[in-house]
Structure 1
Amino acid sequence: MQIVKQQDGDGHLRYVVFKEQNQAEWLRLYKAIYDFVIEITQVEFVNVVKTMPRNANVLAAIIDDLKPECVAGTIAGYDTLVVISPSADAALEFKKMAIEHINHDAIGIAPEDD
């Protein structure tokens, strides 16, 4: 059943479903980036990610489920996703990962043009 004890914010032990971050979840993120992302721009500790219409929420949900250390949170709209990181370095880490998985042929840029 994959149920484990975990401390909550008040220090009380609770039973929760164990959610292991496996390779398949990361591959799902990489595929979503490849399929949906058309542009990414970093501004300090924030990345603004342009997606195909109606796909920003899908990408945000995948990122939120994975909880990568370089992401503090996300805000998604129709075709724009804002990825907030704890620092500019963490935002750069996220941007590099995203650029690595973008479909460069579809958007007409080379990987080194970031």
Structure 2
Amino acid sequence: MSDQSFDLKQVEASNINPVSAGISAGFSITLHEYQGKAYINWSENFPGMVRLAVAIYSGNPPSNPGAWLSATEITNSAAGSWNSGQNWGTGYSAALLGVNATNNAWIYIGCNTTVTV
């Protein structure tokens, strides 16, 4: 085995014409009882127009977001409260949904409640 030596040279990263972007957004939902009914409160601060809905489910949100008990579109509403029409009780969850622009279908965006007990 022979010894080999390497001449390491400093490599500079080019910073010519860089491009970048960033965005920060927050989404929240709460499933609660009001006058015996299951209500969903929501808020979002996405800095632009995004198509959103809130939905209530029996049990955990299923793999198919459209399999809700009831839902309503909340596009252009940064915050609010919605009566799902369901009597308050155990075994419900809620989710905030967005739209997949490719097929115009509702998808989960990662903002779900746990199941009521």
* TM above 0.5: no
Return the TM-score normalized by structure 1. Answer: 0.34
Between Structure 1 and Structure 2, which shows a larger proportion of strand residues? 2
Larger radius of gyration: 2
Between Structure 1 and Structure 2, which shows a larger proportion of helix residues? 1
